[in-house]
Amino acid sequence: MSPSILKTALLVASATAPVLAASGSGKTTRYWDCCKPSCAWPEKAAVSSPVGMCDAQWNPFNNPDATSGCDGGNAFTCATYSPWAIDDNLAYGFAATAISGGSESSWCCACYRLTFTSGPVAGKSMVVQSTNTGGDLGSNHFDILMPGGGVGLFDGCTPQFGGLPGARYGGISSRNECESFPEQLKEGCYWRFDWFQNADNPDIQFEQVQCPAELLNVSGCKRQDDCSFPPA
């Protein structure tokens, strides 16, 4: 085989090779920091567009170079990134992720099916899309976005609307505290105490899957390799 034919064959094989879906056991935590998601910055991954963001009044806007509200700017997490129940055993939502062997280019806008293996939600599943990463995350770590889960390292909620109650890590401790939240965040806060049963950082088994249309419609971000993974 000539060198040029061999090179062409290798390129075709590389382009058509199946993408290995990330999977394994992992851990979860929770947060809602109001900051611009890290996957909202341009050129983080091979995607249709960076994930969407909102201004301080919850209005969507398209400026991937906008400064995060956590750094004095006007780009924040949209309230629509709150989790929601599909039925008693399945929920959809978003998360900051750190998967062993990967990087932002493989995590941003990828979707994962999480099956909870401990706590009151053991046996339930949640499909999340990665909209963020975090310097304080461990390996195979999913930090699930849920209003009232605590701001963590950064607090964009105080400059956006005066802040949220609760501990910096872990957030609030009762459903009644959701009543003091901005109207746009109340349903996501209730979800934590209803569907999620106030589970405290349950363990998981996870598998990378195709993103459901419902999540893509919220984030506006689809990976170019999304169809390479099994359906959610």
Largest CA distance in the chain: 72
d(CA 162, CA 27): 31
Kindly name the residue from 33, 143, 155, 226 that is annotated as catalytic: 33
Which residue carries 């000539």 as its tokens? 2
d(CA 102, CA 123): 27
Asked if residues 44 and 108 have their Cβ atoms less than 8 Å apart, the reply is yes
Distances (CA, A) of 153 to 20, 54, 125, 225: 32, 20, 27, 31
Asked if residues 59 and 96 have their Cβ atoms less than 8 Å apart, the reply is no
Is 136 a catalytic site residue? no
Enzyme catalytic residues: 33
